[in-house]
Amino acid sequence: MAIDLRHGDDVADLVARTEALVRDTVVPLEERHGGVIASVGEEGRVELQRAAADAGVLAPHAPREYGGHGLGMCDRAPVFEAAGYSLFGPLALNIAAPDEGNVHLLAEVATPEQKERYLAPLATGRVRSCFAMTEPAPGAGSDPSALTTSATRVPGGWRIDGHKWFITGADGAGFAICMARTSGTPGDRGGATMFLVDAENPGMRVVRHVETLDQSMIGGHCEVRFDDCVVGDDAVLGAVDEGFTYAQVRLGPARTTHCMRWLGIGRRAQDLAVGYVAERKVFGARLAELGMVQQLIADNEIDIEASRALVTRACWELDQGRSAAQLTSIAKTFVAEAVWRIVDRAVQLCGALGVSHDILLSRYLREVRAFRIYDGPSEVHRWAIARRVVKRHSH
Amino acid sequence: MAIDLRHGDDVADLVARTEALVRDTVVPLEERHGGVIASVGEEGRVELQRAAADAGVLAPHAPREYGGHGLGMCDRAPVFEAAGYSLFGPLALNIAAPDEGNVHLLAEVATPEQKERYLAPLATGRVRSCFAMTEPAPGAGSDPSALTTSATRVPGGWRIDGHKWFITGADGAGFAICMARTSGTPGDRGGATMFLVDAENPGMRVVRHVETLDQSMIGGHCEVRFDDCVVGDDAVLGAVDEGFTYAQVRLGPARTTHCMRWLGIGRRAQDLAVGYVAERKVFGARLAELGMVQQLIADNEIDIEASRALVTRACWELDQGRSAAQLTSIAKTFVAEAVWRIVDRAVQLCGALGVSHDILLSRYLREVRAFRIYDGPSEVHRWAIARRVVKRHSH
Amino acid sequence: MAIDLRHGDDVADLVARTEALVRDTVVPLEERHGGVIASVGEEGRVELQRAAADAGVLAPHAPREYGGHGLGMCDRAPVFEAAGYSLFGPLALNIAAPDEGNVHLLAEVATPEQKERYLAPLATGRVRSCFAMTEPAPGAGSDPSALTTSATRVPGGWRIDGHKWFITGADGAGFAICMARTSGTPGDRGGATMFLVDAENPGMRVVRHVETLDQSMIGGHCEVRFDDCVVGDDAVLGAVDEGFTYAQVRLGPARTTHCMRWLGIGRRAQDLAVGYVAERKVFGARLAELGMVQQLIADNEIDIEASRALVTRACWELDQGRSAAQLTSIAKTFVAEAVWRIVDRAVQLCGALGVSHDILLSRYLREVRAFRIYDGPSEVHRWAIARRVVKRHSH
Amino acid sequence: MAIDLRHGDDVADLVARTEALVRDTVVPLEERHGGVIASVGEEGRVELQRAAADAGVLAPHAPREYGGHGLGMCDRAPVFEAAGYSLFGPLALNIAAPDEGNVHLLAEVATPEQKERYLAPLATGRVRSCFAMTEPAPGAGSDPSALTTSATRVPGGWRIDGHKWFITGADGAGFAICMARTSGTPGDRGGATMFLVDAENPGMRVVRHVETLDQSMIGGHCEVRFDDCVVGDDAVLGAVDEGFTYAQVRLGPARTTHCMRWLGIGRRAQDLAVGYVAERKVFGARLAELGMVQQLIADNEIDIEASRALVTRACWELDQGRSAAQLTSIAKTFVAEAVWRIVDRAVQLCGALGVSHDILLSRYLREVRAFRIYDGPSEVHRWAIARRVVKRHSH
């Protein structure tokens, strides 16, 4: 037994085919649409996923029995990174948030019937989904215990009432996984439960798209209201009052796959910038020969390698069946900030071109910024990381 | 004789009136338009400037004989900062780039006739202008000696041919100050000359708006072509072949007034963020009581004060009639990066709200990014700063 | 009335004479002793101060009636910076901590008799002093309210009992200003009183020198015990129970003069490094021509100018008779970190030579580190800065 | 085949035994001597290594046939990190620089006779060695091609003349591996050859110890002269003129094991600081509960994990028999700066105690600083990293 960092041939093959698809099909589409997903729309999504299916790379994460490749976390890393090389790549492979995380959650927690109804179509992109947890202030955000959306017992089921926002992909989703309080009161933890709510349910309504810096998430970041939203008992995902636990089940891998995808954009930004400075001359020299330029390039490369190495560590822990809360928090915090630095340096390397829309760097800067906030702001992760360190020390 | 940092009562009064105008008139308009200037248009500009004139704060920088307040650099600082508190404030006072710098340049270099024709209407906003220097690669950018646009002698005048881009405000400008090579070849320094070109000149043409991250500059950042653009001898601004020198005359003050304006946005971002964290509660405490939040606030405050102190230093040097090249480079480099950090921290402080369009922070993040590139990227300034330090040491 | 940043001729003259003294007398001594003050000793101190007196630069801070130059804060700044160019310079001018701050405190608070007895000899270096406030955990440190040293009423005076540490200059001091609790209990604020304790008092005892990274403070950082230390009523400095207030009177200026002195070392480090890279060749070029080297030099220069500008701002506020708590906190935090960065970059610029004892840079790195902790760690200042910002916003 | 990050049981066992040795024997000795190796001396070294031999952990890196454990790079990582938890740990296991790297070099390049004579006693600490490559300016430093020490043919051997400095461990070493130019001239690359020089050779002389910030290397950093230093043909290590190539063979692994050892100190610093803040109370709360403190702890933890992850990556490449020049440069640059940050934060977390000699943190700060310079300053590594990135892009 010894340390091994080599991927299997099957994974290497998936990576190569993903790279080809991204290069030949996805990037051209992304460039045509300036990286704005709304401009592509649902038809674009279907087309992209058909191309991925044709290339044999659709749904690398989904269980084999639902049409996926069944990859574990370590094996996903290079495939997701290859897909993430374009803003549209994850959508093409059907591994974009929040669907990717929902597939994982459903595979872990859903009943056989729920799997048939929700997981099966979701796995290969026949339907989209959303995860309705975050609430506007003073509701659930960094502090899940502030959850105000409630689900109360009614004959044969539950009635959900509440107000959510930043619900990614809600507009056009076939169903939502909605987190609602089923015991306790906002501010104490109490119990939350996850519910599967069909888009057709008249009690669920997309109020508006919250316009944001980032624009590469299909279905937008939506404000959603649940008013008198009645669902049956079979809508309960997992056990009643266990929602907070399931959220953790979902979050560890979800934040790690975020890292993989964004690392792809980090590499793309570096490639764009290096391509520019390798050609552009100023003061008689190629930009790439100037020391301050080399420093930016080198710092990008260091950030890329450190990010990838941390992701591998976190993945391996997850693959061992551990919670990996500390390592996934560390990876998320580091990678979110590293990718931000990388894209920012790439913009700087390209000067005025970098802030123009003539290349995609300024788009990436916009997309990447939110990663330091979504899935837990860096400050909340640091708080959790430090608490675990101190706790470990006290033992 | 002793150090004194207090502004005169006249300046304090101008600041107070500017603050009132910005608060009551400019900010509401800015919020309505999401900080996007194109959405306001020329009529909006005229209206804003009429309000500023009514408030007695229009053209604080312009010579008194042309309707301005004739403020020196030290006195401009707090007025420009107060105007910069809104993206639309500088436009309201007619102190936005590039007009503000062009007023300065014309006042220094133009003939009496040119002043009457160009400076007089520009000073109080009857017309807008642009400064056509930057060229797409491999032309003049960070390295002015790469200038490729040429002006050749024709009977009674000159013929200008060349290709410019990132010409701020070109679309809708009444005239351009165009920098063209009149001796030497691209790559050596040679001589450049500045020409006043009327918008009606058929040889000057706005090709397109270069779309960019930032969108608060009226008239956009344009690609402009000069083809067979013939101008008379009276179009020469200053002396032939002295353009590079005049560019420096313009640049020192221009980059310093940039700092003043952007410092205003830095303060605005801080105020927005502090307003948020002072109210928002999480985990049972106000955000403003959490240590990591306090660190972000304190770092913002430190950056604001250091920026302001550096601007004062640079202004005072300029007011003494010195070139102040070192101090204005230092101020520009520091403030551009400080304001970027400030806005970035403000976004982080506001979490998901910060990246949404519900408040203007994400807009500011976009606007501010280019300041680290425009008017000389930080790397070029650092190179110049270091060279001066080493040179000073060798003496 | 207008902003003026020029110093008077008298100050410029003091600066020039200080620079000459430092260059010709102080730096050679510093180099001979590796910057370690203990190796110079009391005789060295006396000799240095005689040289300063001969040069007419002794005691620039002290009131004229006590033999000083009576400079205000703005005027002190360039003189103290010039003295700070060598670790031994402040001692030479008798403006080293803690004596310099104690002169200020005594001038503000002492009775005429106390001034005659303590201030007069202290002002021109006939005696040294210390300020006995800080206590080992869990006593008074960043949190003054934790003060445990107590003073209790006895007939005709007070009995002081307590344990202090990091009492700079205690060994060899002629007297101490001791802070002791006279009401309340540790943990609540209560009241503290300052006492003047003569070195001959058998109740005060230097237990040991706390060995530290820094070694340029004469008399060391000492652990001091007060056991049954009886003093008369005339030993009370100012009013009973007003000690915390006086501590603030002392702290604002004291932390600002720290900045001035350390800025001198920052400049010295920069000069040493620039001198090295201007000569040293590698890969066929002078180090000073390499981009990454230029970046380090430029960042140092930016930090130096920003530090100086912030110090001027804080000084001016203090000279207006304001508490300037916010601006002195900002200056202290920024300058302490800036000087640390400067020296660290200077070490890096000099490579292996930089970490050797062959030049003084590694000594400076050691000296400067503590400045981020002494007089309030950066974290405590940031906490205070943020609280004031939030408070200001709430009004 | 799949990724695996688990160490074998044999390695885990070595780690556990190393941890026990360090905790029970090495750390107490280190604390007694303040981390200064000269205060321990040769007898101390012998004793430490006997303890390591008794614990079965001596020479984990050395080939089995020479009494070592024969660990590859991946397996060394956790053992070296465990040893590095004390400044004296690497010496105890005989894996301190430069001996550890010299063992590797001799195992790769030496003849059987040379192995018997030099490698055999070196592997288990019967003798120490040094690596004489670096020269004072303008000789070989970051730029090896500046090599000025020459070796010229004499009958039956070579005569070496030159001047070296920063030769770690030279004082007391049984032999040196000396790098000397055997063709070409300083400034062009030409050819260098490595020579084995016995300490008894009268032509080799330790001139002085270069005093430095760091003091944990046995035998110091020495200035060494070679004057008329004649050696036989059997003193040539490997082939003539191939010295630069061998230097690379040595450097990749050597800089990576540096990372492992210093990572141990990083963890130690974190443990010391966490231990302090977990107990110390201020303003009524434990320091560990304050946000800014938590941020420092979290950033340390992130740096530790990222460092470890990068080391693993580099090790695995080296274990595959690749040069791993890019990954070892990246790891060295990142870890050197990360460990510096970690120790600096740890000092800050402990306040005045942190800069005192009462705990070892200030010693660690001194030791760690040089790591950003030794084995290639960060700037040289960044330059090399960027050049490889640009080269890769051009293909």
With beta carbons less than 8 A apart as the criterion, state whether B367 and B265 touch.
Answer: yes
CA distances D191 to D149, D218, D246, D247, Å, are: 12, 31, 12, 12
Q: How far is D286 from chain C (nearest CA, A)?
A: 11
- Spell out the alpha helix ranges (H) of chain B: 9-21, 27-32, 41-54, 73-84, 89-93, 99-109, 112-114, 120-123, 243-279, 291-319, 325-355, 361-369, 378-394
> Can you tell me the mean pLDDT for A188-201?
94
Q: Which residues of A touch D306 (CB under 8 A)?
A: 306, 309-310, 330, 334
Residue of D348, D351, D377 lying closest to C348 (CB–CB): D377
Measured between beta carbons, the chain D residues lying within 8 angstroms of C378 are 348
CB-based contact, A268 to chain D, within 8 Å: no
Q: Locate the chain B residue with the closest alpha carbon to C10.
A: B1
Instruction: Give me chain D's average pLDDT, please.
Output: 96
A122: pLDDT confidence band, cut at 50, 70 and 90?
Answer: very high
Please indicate whether, in this complex, the C-beta atoms of B5 and C3 are within 8 angstroms of each other: yes
Q: What is the DSSP-derived secondary structure letter of residue C153?
A: E
Question: Looking at residue C4, what is its pLDDT?
Answer: 93
Which of the other chains make 3 or more beta carbon contacts under 8 angstroms with chain C? A, B, D
- Decide the pairing of beta strands C175-183 and C129-132: parallel
Model pLDDT for residues D191-231, shown as the tens digit of each residue: 999 999 999 999 999 999 999 999 999 999 999 999 999 99
Residue appearing with tokens 């991946």: D74
**Pairing state between β D129-132 and D175-183:** parallel
CA angle, corner A326, sides to A325 and A330, nearest 5?
Answer: 115
- 8 A C-beta contact, residue C367 and residue C331: no
- D345 part of contact set with chain C, CB < 8 Å: no
Give me the pLDDT at residue C249, please: 87
Nearest residue of chain C to residue B391 (CA atoms): C278
Rounded distance, CA C359 to CA C351, Å? 11
Closest alpha carbon to C360 in C216, C212, C168: C216
Q: Across the interface, do D386 and A297 touch by the CB < 8 Å criterion? A: yes
CB pairs under 8 A between A and D: 163
ipTM confidence: 0.97
pLDDT tens per residue across span C83-92:
999 999 999 9
- What is the residue type of C158? W
Select the residue from B213, B287, B347 to test the A interface by mutation, using most A Cβ atoms within 10 A.
Answer: B213
Chain B residue with the nearest C-alpha to that of A340: B344
Distance from CA of B301 to the nearest CA of D (A): 16
B277 touching A (Cβ < 8 Å): no
Distance from CA of C319 to the nearest CA of B (A): 10
Whether C217 and chain D come into contact, CB under 8 Å, resolves to no
How many contacts (CB atoms, under 8 Å) link B and D?
17
Q: How far is B35 from chain C (nearest CA, A)?
A: 24
Tell me if chain C has a CB within 8 Å of the CB of D386.
Answer: no
Optimal mutation site among B355, B359, B369, interface A, most CBs of chain A within 10 A: B355
pLDDT at D313: 97
Q: What is the largest CA-CA distance in chain A?
A: 79
Percent of chain D clearing pLDDT 90 (strictly above): 93
Specify the DSSP class assigned to residue D63.
-
Residues of B in contact with C7 (CB under 8 A): 1-3
Nearest-by-Cβ selection for A362 from B141, B213, B362: B213
**Who wins on pLDDT, A185 or C345?**
C345
- Given an 8 Å threshold on Cβ–Cβ distance, is D282 in contact with C141? yes
CA distance B153 to B182: 9
- Say if C352 is an interface residue toward chain D (CB within 8 Å): yes
CA gap B158, B180 in Å, rounded = 10
pLDDT of residue C1: 56
Which residues in chain C have their CB less than 8 angstroms from residue D362's CB?
212-213, 369
Percentage of chain D surpassing pLDDT 70?
A: 100
CB atoms under 10 Å from CB of D163, counted, come to 15
Minimum distance, in Å, between the CA of residue A69 and any CA atom of chain B:
34
Provide the pLDDT for residue D1: 56
Confirm if D114 and D234 have CB atoms less than 8 A apart: yes
Rounded distance, CA B281 to CA B290, Å?
10
Which domains are assigned to chain D? 9-123 (1.10.540.10), 129-241 (2.40.110.10), 251-394 (1.20.140.10)
| Residue A390: both structure tokens together | 């101190």
Q: Which residues of A touch B35 (CB under 8 A)?
A: none
- Best residue in A1, A5, A260, A290 for a mutation probing chain D (most D CBs within 10 Å): A5
Predicted confidence (pLDDT) per residue in B365-381, tens digit: 999 999 999 999 999 99
In C174-193, the residues whose Cβ lies within 8 Å of chain D are 187
CA dihedral over C342, C343, C344, C346, signed as positive or negative: positive
- Averaged over D296-300, what is the pLDDT? 98
Mean pLDDT of D138-146: 88
Q: Is B293's CB within 8 Å of D292's CB? A: no
The answer to whether residue C294 neighbours chain A at the CB level (below 8 Å) is yes
Cβ atoms of A271 and A90 within 8 Å: the answer is no
Band (pLDDT 50/70/90 cuts) for residue B101 is very high
- Low-confidence spans in chain C with pLDDT less than 70: 1
Q: Is residue D92 a contact partner of residue D83, using CB atoms and an 8 Å limit?
A: yes
Query: Residue B184: phi, psi to the nearest 5?
Result: 75, 180
Average pLDDT, chain A: 96
What pLDDT is attached to residue B189? 83
D41, pLDDT greater than 80: yes
pLDDT band at B141 (very low <50, low <70, confident <90, very high): confident
Strand, coil or helix: C87: coil
Tens digits of per-residue pLDDT, B194-211? Answer: 999 999 999 999 999 999
- Contact B295/D291, CB-based, under 8 Å? yes
Chain D contact set for B291 (CB, 8 A): 290-295
Inter-chain Cβ pairs, chain A and chain B, closer than 8 A: 115
CB-based contact, A348 to chain C, within 8 Å: no
